[in-house]
A and B are shown apart, each in its own frame.
Chain A
Amino acid sequence: MAARLNLTYASAVILEEIADGCAYGFQVIDTTGLPSGTVYPALRRMEAAGLIEASWDHIGAEKSGGPPRKYYSLNEDGRKQLDVLRGRYPRLAQIGGAK
Chain B
Amino acid sequence: MSGTPVRTVAPEVRLLLAITGLLLPRSLRRDWMREWMAEFLQGFGAERKRALARAAGAIADSWTLLQIHGWRQRLAELARSRATPAVFSALALATAAWSTHGFQSARSFLSRPASDRVVLLMQPIPFMGKSARLPLAQIALWRRESSAIEALGVWNVERESSQGRPIRVLKASPAARRLLAESPIRPQYDVVQMEEDYAPRFAGVIVKLRPGATSSQIEAEFSATAKLQKNWRVPGVAPLVAVAEAPLLPVGIVLAALLLATLVSIRTASAPAFLCAMAGPCLCLATITAVWLEAVARTPVTETGQVPLFWYALLYFFPIATAALAMWLFRRSAAHRCRTCFQPLLSAVLVGMEGRCLFEPGGSEHLCAEGHGALVVGHAAQNESDKEWISWSHTWA
Contact = CB atoms under 8 A, between A and B. Distances in A.
Contacts of B35: 25, 69-70
Interface string A42-62: 001100100000000000010
Contact of B56 (A26, A37, A63, A66): A37
Interface in A70-94: 70
Contacts of B42: 64, 66-67, 69
Interface in B36-76: 37-39, 41-44, 53-61, 63-65, 68-69
Given A36-B58, A37-B60, A40-B60, A69 B38 contact: yes
Contact of A67 (B2, B38, B53, B61): B38
B129 interface: no
A96 B208 CA distance: 85
A18 to B, nearest CB: 15
B4 interface: yes
Contacts of A70: 31, 34-35, 38
B39 A25 contact: yes
Contacts of A25: 35, 39
Nearest to B7: A66
Contacts of A65: 1-6
A44 B59 CA distance: 13
The prevalent SS among residues of B at the interface is helix
Interface residues of B, number: 30
Contacts of B2: 63, 65
Contacts of B31: 70
B3 A36 contact: no
Interface residues of A, number: 23
Contacts of A63: 2-3
A53 to B, nearest CB: 14
A13 B84 CA distance: 41
Nearest to A41: B64
Nearest to A65: B1
Contact of B54 (A29, A48, A66): A29
A46 to B, nearest CB: 11
Contact of B65 (A24, A26, A44, A64): A44
A51 to B, nearest CB: 13
Contacts of A61: 38
Interface in B271-307: none
A14 interface: no
Given A45-B68, A48-B68, A68 B59 contact: no
A15 interface: no
A82 to B, nearest CB: 21
Most buried by B among A35, A41, A45, A70: A41
A55 B122 CA distance: 81
Interface of B: 1-6, 31, 34-35, 37-39, 41-44, 53-61, 63-65, 68-69
Interface of A: 24-26, 29, 35-41, 44-45, 48, 61, 63-70
Closest 7 CB pairs of A and B: A36-B57, A40-B61, A41-B64, A37-B57, A37-B60, A67-B38, A65-B1
Given A64-B4, A67-B37, A70-B31, 9 more contacts: A36-B58, A37-B56, A38-B57, A38-B60, A40-B64, A41-B61, A66-B43, A67-B38, A67-B42
